[in-house]
């Protein structure tokens, strides 16, 4: 038959700590930094990764010169799996630490955002809590915010400009992600050379849109909607196709997008946030909010990754997500 039993005990020797070290290193933190987040010494991290590479039988990190130069092809291949295993574990464990979430909850998510991670987290939450019926409503962030009161939504996730303050103090809000907003395009453009800026943007009401327009305003330029869509996928595709200049946060960039920054003369854009709002005070709402807040797909590690600044929440919970 097949002769593939490389070593007895096989994959048994791999531990979650190995994966945590690898993921942290893959994010570009050095061995020292990774050790800090894992509450281990640099030496321990080095040995940990070495061990993982031994077990897997391949190198994961490209470390030609002194320190890490990125992932090897194998590392690139392994990273998504490692991330997923850690996410699943983290979610499963924290799900067990609280009573099962039950009931029926209505969640509002922005459809003008890259929400696949969000959807994954939501569906895994449903998997771990079979007595929980989740209903997801997708709408523009601006509409979601407007509808919180009268639409019966329990939990609302929406995008907004930095330092969002909920208009109703009863709502408990939680920052899921903070990241810089970028001008993006398929090719290079020079700001000064453009008389009018063809924008690929979301419809009126979108905070990215208004941030972009007012930035242009301040710089005496006029932007027009070369392509307007309420769907993130459409926007992404339109930018890729070169239909104009998009305005997207770091996490929503596609591979083929390039960032237009100071070199090209483009003005700075504000930071944007993904915020979660508890609109009802049901216990299940709080539980779900906890789950999503914990979910590694939107944890402080990622916040940090996308961000230029440090986020206060980061250091305190690094141990949990690290």
Partner DNA sequence: TATTCATAATCAGTTAGGCTGATTTTGAAC
Partner DNA sequence: GTTCAAAATCAGCCTAACTGATTATGAATA
Chain residues that interact with a copy of itself, rule: CB under 8 A: 1-2, 4-6, 8-12, 14-17, 20, 39, 55-58, 73-74, 77-78, 80-82, 84-85, 88-98, 100, 127-130, 172-174, 286, 289-290, 293-294, 316-317, 319-320, 322
How near is the Cβ of 69 to DNA at its closest, in Å? 9
Applying CB under 7 A, does 31 fall inside the site for DNA?
yes
Q: Which is nearer to a copy of itself, 2 or 220 (CB)?
A: 2
- For 12: left if phi > 0, alpha if psi spans -120 to 50, otherwise beta; the answer is alpha
Q: Establish if 263 lies at the interface with DNA (CB under 7 A).
A: no
Contact present, 238 and 183 (Cβ < 8 Å): no
d(C-alpha 194, C-alpha 216), whole Å: 12
Q: Cβ of residue 257: shortest distance to a copy of itself, in angstroms? A: 20
Q: Would you tell me the crossing angle of helices 73-97 and 116-128 to the nearest 10 degrees?
A: 40
Distances from the Cα of 219 to the Cα of 140, 212, 267, 272, angstroms: 28, 11, 8, 20
Please say which residue, 16 or 190, places its beta carbon nearer to DNA: 16
Q: How far is the CB of 39 from a copy of itself (least distance, A)?
A: 7
Q: Which does 31 bind (CB under 5 to 8 A by kind): DNA, a copy of itself, none?
A: DNA
Q: Does 30 bind DNA (CB under 7 A)?
A: yes
Examine residue 251 and tell whether it contacts DNA (CB under 7 A): no
**Of 185, 223, 228, nearest in space to 205 by CA:** 228
Task: Indicate the residue among 181 and 289 with the shorter CB distance to a copy of itself.
Answer: 289
Q: Give, as one character, the DSSP assignment of residue 243.
A: S
CA atoms within 13 A on the CB side of 218: 10
Residue 56 interaction partner, one of DNA, a copy of itself, none, beta carbon < 5-8 Å per kind: a copy of itself
Looking at 48, 251, 299, 302, which residue binds DNA (CB under 7 A)?
Answer: 48
Helix axes 73-97, 16-26, angle to 10 degrees: 120
Instruction: Build a one-symbol-per-residue string for 63-92: x at contacts with DNA by CB under 7 A, - elsewhere.
Output: xxxxxx------------------------
- DSSP codes, 30-57: -HHHHHHHHTS-HHHHHHHHHHHHHHHT
Residues that bind DNA (CB under 7 A): 13, 15, 17, 30-32, 35, 39-44, 46-51, 63-68
């Amino acid at each position: 038959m097949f002769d593939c039993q490389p070593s007895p005990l096989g994959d048994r020797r791999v531990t979650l700590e190995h994966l945590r070290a690898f993921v942290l290193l893959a994010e570009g933190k050095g061995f020292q930094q990774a050790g800090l987040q894992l509450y281990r010494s640099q030496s321990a991290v080095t040995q940990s990764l070495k061990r993982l590479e031994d077990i897997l039988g391949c190198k994961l990190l490209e470390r030609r010169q002194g320190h890490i130069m990125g992932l090897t092809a194998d590392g690139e291949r392994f990273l998504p799996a490692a991330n997923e295993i850690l996410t699943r574990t983290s979610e499963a464990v924290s799900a067990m630490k609280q009573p099962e979430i039950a009931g029926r909850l209505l969640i509002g998510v922005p459809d003008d955002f890259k929400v696949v991670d969000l959807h994954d987290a939501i569906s895994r939450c449903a998997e771990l809590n079979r007595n929980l019926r989740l209903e997801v409503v997708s709408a523009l962030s601006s509409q979601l915010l407007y509808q919180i009161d009268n639409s019966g939504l329990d939990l609302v996730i929406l995008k907004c400009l930095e330092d969002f303050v909920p208009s109703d103090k009863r709502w408990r809000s939680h920052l899921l992600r903070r990241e810089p907003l970028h001008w993006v395009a398929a090719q290079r453009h020079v700001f000064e050379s453009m008389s009018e800026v063809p924008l690929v943007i979301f419809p009126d009401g979108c905070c990215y849109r208004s941030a972009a327009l007012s930035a242009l305003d301040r710089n005496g330029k006029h932007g027009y909607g070369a392509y307007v869509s309420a769907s993130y996928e459409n926007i992404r595709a339109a930018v890729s196709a070169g239909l104009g200049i998009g305005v997207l946060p770091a996490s929503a960039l596609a591979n083929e997008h390039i960032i237009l920054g100071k070199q090209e003369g483009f003005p700075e854009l504000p930071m944007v946030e993904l915020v979660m709002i508890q609109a009802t005070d049901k216990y299940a709402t709080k539980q779900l909010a906890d789950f999503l807040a914990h979910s590694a797909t939107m944890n402080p590690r990622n916040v940090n990754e996308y961000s230029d600044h440090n986020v206060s929440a980061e250091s305190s919970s690094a141990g949990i997500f690290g």
